[in-house]
Chains A and B, each alone.
Chain A
Amino acid sequence: MSLVTNLDLRKTAMKWLIASLITLSVSAIGMVELFGERFVITGLFTMAQVMFLGPTAVFAYRAVQETPQAQKWLGLLKALLIGLGVGLVMMALVWLSQNIDIRSVFINISPKLINILTFNGSGSLTLLLAMVGAGLAGGVLALVPTKLRTALLVGGGTTILTGLLSEILAERLRSLFGAQVSNAIFASKALQLVPAIVLFVLITAFVYFRSTGHIKPANIRLPAGRERLVLTALISGFLLVLPMLLGSYLTEVTNNIGLFFLMGLGLNIVVGLAGLLDLGYVAFFAIGAYTMAALTSTGPLGLADMSFWVALPICVAVAAVAGFILGMPVLRMRGDYLAIVTLGFGEIIRILALSDLMKPYIGGAQGILNIPKPMVGELSLIRPEQMYYVILIGVAVAMFMSVRVRESQIGRRWMAMREDEDVAEAMGINLVSTKLLAFTIGAGFSGLAGAIFASKLGSIFPHSFNLLISINVLSLIIVGGLGSIPGTLVGAIILVGLPELLREFAEFRWLAYGVLLVTMMLSRPEGFIPSETIRRELHSGDEAEQAG
């Protein structure tokens, strides 16, 4: 009896249920199968295994953590039960798929998936044992002292990430240090076993001894008063040589990150600073791109045969004016209505771009072709390494403007308005001009990104400008941290860079964004790299609650 009460069956059962549902889901929607070929350590384990064993480990870990200190061994029993329970559920799935035709309904429950789940067909008992093992591993991890646990997690995470990015890292190592170095560490698409262990041990040890104080960060002395200057010089130097280190493919990825970062900076002003949730942000990106296309294209739809550099400011101006005009009617609208109206605007523009009505001007579904690349003197910037510098300049200008605007009186007006429109108005802030300014500047940034995008691609189609772009930009500023510029960069690197580097992930990026948006709002609404004001504001309630 006391064992049953101590086991906290209700809570444990709940954890079992959630872990089972998640494991079933990642299997049934095809994630496991998709990652089945992606070895983290070659020949040893794949990302698929991380995915279907992971949830059990996490929930077992939490079960142990919730158990009182004195009964830790009982906690391990819970972890074991959770592992056993999830294992049985998955065994049932394997059994079902072998005896009933569930594939005709759930298209992703394929023989290949079953093969992965049963560890290359070595039977469902192996699956059960693995699940129990995962549960116990999660449970044991909860018993390890905090510092060591953090170190182990960081080490494990880094090793897995390195393993996932093997293909690209190996290619880079090969071209920078030669094939021998690369082959010593990486097999064709994954880490070799020994380097993986070395990497794991090194990083774990480093993080652990760093936290215990055995390793102290090197104390580099910068010339007094010049820290900022030195730092800026270092970063700029690094950014200037970056394409040479990255190679063509990674530079292309960096360029995409740059464009999304540019849009993120603009949306950050609208959503992060001014608090106006704009879901039709892609419209300004499209307007910038179409303006660039119409002004510079050498095809039949080109109007002016301008050069990229002449057209660029015009594109920004056109997008900004569009932002101003679309901003006007929505000024008096409250947050959630604003989101829907801007979404409506975005859709209207997309449908119009696709329609026969606008076809004589912007090409309908065929889009506009033959957009020339930017020229510097006689040199056409065709390669991604060359385009990189155009984007870098754009990003630098936009960042500079963002920072200056945020620190200025306008920035403070935006933030005041975000907090409370009525109070802001009472303080003498003109809501109309303040909101319009946010829309206009934000749209200008997006137009800039669109213009560069059009020139980079050489041809544009209405399909490139759908709602998903708006959602992508919104996700990256939320994940990075609303109102935070470094946060936006980190968000862009994670949300744009990762799917491009991991093709398997790209398939599920929207699913992952959905999960990210929800979990970020629930657990870290201020984002990974929060802006100081937002963080204070979101947590002011906590302190008040504690005090009261």
Chain B
Amino acid sequence: MRDRLAKLNWIDLFLWVARAAIVLVILVGTVKTLINNPYTLRNWEDFIIFGIAQGSMYALIAIGYTLVYGVLQMINFAHGEFFMSGIFASTAAVAIPLSRAGYLESHPVPSLLLIALSSIVVSVLISLLTERIAYRPLRHAPRLMPLITAIGASFFWQYYFRGLFGAQAIPFPTIPQLAGSVPFLHTQVLKPHILVIFVTFVVLVALNFFISSTRPGKAIRAVAENKDVAALMGIDVDRTISLTFATGAAMAGVAGMLYALVFQQVHFFMGFIPGIKAFTAAVLGGIGSIPGAAVGGLFLGLFESLGPSLFLQSLGIPAFNQLKDVIAFTMLVLVLIFRPQGIVGERLKEKKA
């Protein structure tokens, strides 16, 4: 017993105290809320549906982080910008002109497909350029260096697109067919939310097929497993890495369109916060694992949507909804500190992950 106490150093002690304090805050808040129960069943269903929709977008963005991490073991800090660039350009150059011409209202389906396509194309192009210029030359450099170029690339793209399309938020045109809501259980679900959940599901199924059953998908998995052996097997590693970036960016492009449909506006800085949150989701699910990213995204979306009402309000925190982002960031910090291998994901083989 004494030996064990002696081994327990004060850093561990500090971490345990921090952990206990946070769990306590969440528990006390939750219990208090559940006893008082200021919300109706309908409110809770609203929170949950919004959480799932929000989480779907995180999941789609998180896939980009997880794919690149799986292949290169690097955090692609600029991924949030891939997400932003696609929809920002597509809104300014496709959606707005279509809406002005009245085509968006009269033919919503082909218009939405066109917007999604252009968003994907721009995201993919930006990701390929970034990979080629900022990451590929540094593939064997110390870890810090690609991370710094990633930060540089991120800022470059933000302000580049700000220069192209302006610093103002651009309102995404409303589509009459997507306005309104549909009754579900005790509540009404907004139509864009249904679309988000449906599209995410379809895209994730398609991605799963692509990664597990097609040749390029197998190449990505092989390169993630071992680059040298993959090269010996006749796989073009550079091209496969580009393909990985492109796949992740395509997901981000889709997520961008869904984001615009839900939040109705786009701006040059919109990639930053969703980017970090999606990264949190990727880590939550165990970075490197694709199903993990999806689960992590949903979990984060739900937690963030339920959290403020579930345990912040009853603690007497004023304007508790302002702290929504704090929940996500705290989650990020906690997961990275306490369970960097993720909550649901497989353990990383590398030590000290």
The answer to whether A and B belong to the same complex is yes
- Chain A positions within 8 Å of B, measured between CB atoms, are 25, 28-31, 104-108, 275, 277, 279, 328-337, 339-341, 343-345, 347-348, 351-352, 354-357, 359, 432, 471, 474-475, 478, 508, 510-511, 513-518, 521-522, 525
**Complex: how many Å from CA A104 to CA B101?**
13
B206 within 8 Å of A by Cβ? no
A335 touches B147 (CB 8 A): yes
- Which of A277, A333, A347, A514 has a CB less than 8 Å from the CB of B159? A514
Q: Is B21 part of the contact surface with A, judged by Cβ < 8 Å? A: no
Question: Which residue on A lies nearest to B157, using beta carbons?
Answer: A514
Q: How far is the CA of A471 from the CA of B148 in the complex (A)?
A: 10
What distance in Å separates the Cβ of A532 from its nearest Cβ neighbour in chain B? 17
Asked if A508 meets B163 with Cβ closer than 8 Å, knowing A471-B151, A518-B152, the reply is yes
Q: Is the CB of A357 within 8 A of B318?
A: yes
CB-CB under 8 A for A514 and B155, given A351-B326, A355-B323: yes
- Given contacts A25-B160, A277-B148, A332-B352, list 13 more A-B pairs with CB under 8 A: A104-B97, A275-B144, A328-B11, A334-B143, A341-B332, A351-B323, A351-B326, A355-B319, A357-B319, A514-B155, A517-B151, A518-B134, A522-B137
Q: Would you call A515 and B319 a contact (CB within 8 A)?
A: no
Q: CB-nearest residue of chain A relative to B94? A: A105
Q: Output the least CB separation between A28 and chain B (Å).
A: 6
B143 to chain A, nearest CB (A): 5
| Residue B340, interface by CB 8 Å | yes
Residues of B within 8 A of A517 (CB): 148-149, 151-152, 155
Across the interface, B152 reaches (CB within 8 A) one of A105, A108, A521, namely: A521
Q: Note all chain B residues with C-beta closer than 8 A to A333.
A: 336-337, 340
With an 8 A cutoff between CB atoms, is B229 at the interface? no
Set of chain A residues within 8 Å of B337, measured between Cβ atoms: 329-330, 333, 341
Docked complex Cα distance between A514 and B149 (Å): 8
Q: Are B93 and A478 in contact (CB under 8 A)?
A: no
Least Cβ–Cβ distance between B171 and chain A, in angstroms: 14
Offer 16 A-B interface pairs, CB within 8 angstroms, sorted by A: A28-B164, A108-B164, A275-B144, A329-B18, A337-B340, A337-B353, A343-B276, A351-B326, A352-B326, A357-B319, A359-B318, A511-B163, A518-B156, A521-B138, A521-B149, A522-B137
Q: Give the residue name and chain of the A residue nearest to B18 (CB).
A: A329
A-B contact count (CB 8 A): 162
| Whole-angstrom distance between the Cβ of A337 and the nearest chain B Cβ | 5
Known contacts A334-B353, A515-B152; decide if A525 and B329 are in contact (CB<8 Å): no
CB contact under 8 A between A331 and B165, given known A351-B322, A513-B155: no
A517 to B154, CA, bound (A): 10
Interface string of B166-197 (1 = CB under 8 A from A): 10000000000000000000000000000000
In the complex, the chain B residue whose C-beta lies closest to that of A275 is: B144
Closest 8 pairs (CB-CB, A-B): A29-B163, A517-B152, A514-B156, A511-B159, A514-B155, A356-B319, A518-B152, A356-B318
* B322/A515 in contact, CB under 8 A: no
Do the beta carbons of B143 and A336 come within 8 Å of each other? Answer: yes
Would you call A344 and B352 a contact (CB within 8 A)? no
Q: Is B325 an interface residue (CB 8 A)?
A: yes
Shortest A373–chain B CB gap in Å is 33
User: Are A522 and B144 in touch, CB under 8 angstroms?
Assistant: no
Q: Answer whether A514 and B152 are a contact pair too, CB < 8 Å, given A28-B163, A344-B329, A525-B141.
A: yes
The 0/1 profile, CB within 8 Å of A marked 1, for residues 126-145 of chain B is 00000001100110010111
Contact A516 B325 (CB under 8 A): no
A residues near B74, Cβ cutoff 8 Å: 336
Q: A432 CA to B147 CA in the complex, in Å?
A: 24
Return the contact of B322 from the options A28, A355, A525 (Cβ within 8 A).
A355
Near A by CB (< 8 A), chain B positions 299-340 give: 317-319, 322-323, 325-326, 329-330, 332-333, 336-337, 340
Question: How many angstroms from the CA of A510 to the CA of B15 in the assembled complex?
Answer: 37
Which residues of the partner chain B approach A275 to less than 8 Å between Cβ atoms? 144
Interface size of B by CB at 8 A reads 57
Q: B146, B147, B148, B326: which has the most chain A beta carbons within 10 Å?
A: B148
Closest residue of B by beta carbon distance from A331: B11
Task: Give B64 Cβ to nearest chain A Cβ, in Å.
Answer: 15
Within the complex, the shortest CB–CB distance from A261 to chain B, in Å, comes to: 20
Is A347 in contact with B163, judged by CB distance below 8 angstroms? no
CB-based nearest B residue for A328: B14
Residues of B within 8 A of A347 (CB): 276, 325, 329
* B245 nearest CB across to chain A (Å): 16
- Chain A CB within 8 A of B344 CB: no
Q: How far is the CB of B223 from chain A (nearest CB, A)?
A: 20
- Does any Cβ of A come within 8 Å of B279's Cβ? yes
How far in angstroms is the closest Cβ of chain B from A236? 35
| B-chain residues with CB within 8 Å of residue A341 when the two chains form the complex | 332-333, 336-337
Q: Considering only CB atoms, which chain A residue lies closest to B138 in the complex? A: A521
Which of these, A277, A336, A340, A511, contacts B160 with CB under 8 Å?
A511
A511: B residues at CB distance < 8 A: 155-156, 159-160, 163
Query: Quick check: A348 and B333 within 8 Å, CB to CB?
Result: yes
A348: B residues at CB distance < 8 A: 326, 329-330, 333
Q: Which residues of B contact A344 (CB under 8 A)?
A: 276, 329-330, 332-333, 336
A105–B145 CB distance below 8 A: no
User: Once bound together, how far apart are the Cα atoms of A356 and B326, in whole Å?
Assistant: 13
Residues on the B chain within 8 Å of A522, using CB: 134, 137-138, 149
**Provided the pairs A336-B74, A521-B138 are in contact, do residues A329 and B333 lie with their beta carbons within 8 angstroms?**
yes
What residues of chain A lie closer than 8 Å to B93, measured between beta carbons? 105
A544 vs B326: C-alpha distance when bound (angstroms): 48
Task: Find chain A residues with CB under 8 A from B235 CB.
Answer: none
Give every chain A residue within 8 A of B332 (Cβ-Cβ).
340-341, 344
Question: A336 CA to B323 CA in the complex, in Å?
Answer: 26
Contacting residues, chain B, for A515 (C-beta < 8 A): 152, 156
| Cβ-based interface call for B158 (8 A) | yes
Contact B326 A339 (CB under 8 A): no
Chain B's closest residue to A516 (CB) is B152
Residues of B within 8 A of A335 (CB): 143-144, 147
For B157, list chain A residues within 8 Å (CB).
Answer: 514
Q: State the Cβ distance, A435 to closest chain B Cβ, in Å.
A: 11
Query: B72-129: which residues lie under 8 A (CB-CB) from chain A?
Result: 74-75, 77, 92-93, 96-97
CB distance from A204 to the nearest CB of B (A): 33
The reply to whether B151 and A474 form a contact with Cβ atoms under 8 Å apart is yes
Closest to A436 in B: B11
B83 to chain A, nearest CB (A): 17
Best-buried of B18, B146, B322 by chain A (most CB within 10 Å): B322
**Which single residue of chain B is at the shortest CB-CB distance from A26?**
B163
Closest to B350 in A: A334
Chain B proximity of A369: nearest CB distance (Å): 22
Q: Is the CB of B352 within 8 A of A518?
A: no
Is B241's CB within 8 Å of the partner chain A?
Answer: no
B60 to chain A, nearest CB (A): 20
**How far in angstroms is the closest Cβ of chain A from B20?**
14
Closest to B312 in A: A357
Q: How far is the CB of B14 from chain A (nearest CB, A)?
A: 5
**CB of B153 within 8 Å of the partner chain:** yes
CB distance from B235 to the nearest CB of A (A): 25
Give the one of B141, B332, B333 with max A CB within 10 A: B333
Instruction: Tell me how far the C-beta of A366 lies from the nearest C-beta in chain B, rounded to whole angstroms.
Output: 15
Would you give the shortest CB distance from A535 to chain B, in whole angstroms? 14
A333 to B143, CA, bound (A): 13
A336 and B164 in contact, given A104-B97, A347-B325, A514-B155 (Cβ under 8 angstroms)? no
Q: Mark B222-244, 1 if CB is under 8 A from A, else 0.
A: 00000000000000000000000
